[in-house]
Structure 1
């Protein structure tokens, strides 16, 4: 098989309780993007670097952002706007629909909630989360 169907991927939000935190899927998600991991590269080129080529070492890793698009239902999704007020990161999980249910677990701060109401289409919203720290992949 050359690929997997993405249908069934879920972004789950932790309730913050300990022990035994409960994760609930955010409803009506139509698209999940990220996290977009990237890494800084530090230039360590010196006068004695060989062959007039720059040299680099790996620097800090930015865990990036996660964004989701939803079929916006105000009665369901407006409760999430309160997450914009939270200063501390919350626990989230992306669960993929593969056989092993691969899960990316991470802490994130919500940084955006943008609803859209076109005159000729459905209500949608885009929610953006800044990942804090290293995601765990299981």
Structure 2
């Protein structure tokens, strides 16, 4: 059996497109990215003569799953997070380790939240809802 080529998520980056071209401003101190994926509606097509009394489904519309990023909240450097929420939409990239594969999507920022304020580190999170077709693949030129 061949050796595993698995890797960790260490050095994955999250960015927002700036201007034209393939330039992204990457957020500082991202500690977690969650929810990357796509779903599809299952439309019930069951009828009174469905075979053997089982429900039948047909494939419906596809949707990108909401993406949540969590980062260390540095009060003196909040512009990336608050600008993303204030603007409401943008083009986003999750750049995987090695910098050759990315999950790119256009989306709207649906939530901004600060984590618990305690003796632990300060955190913040953003939730983005992809709009349209997200892509997972090789980075242009990568």
- Aligned match of 2:117: 118
* Cα distance in 2 for residues equivalent to 1:27 and 1:114: 16
* Cα distance in 2 for residues equivalent to 1:91 and 1:2: 30
1:7 equivalent among 1, 10, 22: 10
Runs of 4+ in 1 over 4 A off after TM superposition: none
- Aligned match of 1:127: 126
- Aligned match of 1:92: 92
* Cα distance in 2 for residues equivalent to 1:116 and 1:44: 43
SS at match of 2:109: strand
* Cα distance in 2 for residues equivalent to 1:130 and 1:100: 23
TM-score, scaled to structure 1: 0.86
Cα gap change, 1:100 to 1:121, in 2 (>3 Å): closer
Cα gap change, 1:22 to 1:129, in 2 (>3 Å): same
Give the stretch that moved more between structures: 24-33 or 100-109.
100-109
* TM superposition shift of 1:106: 0.4
- Aligned match of 2:70: 69
* Cα distance in 2 for residues equivalent to 1:65 and 1:25: 19
* Cα distance in 1 for residues equivalent to 2:101 and 2:5: 17
- Aligned match of 1:101: 100
Gaps of 5+ in 2: 138-142
* TM superposition shift of 1:114: 0.9
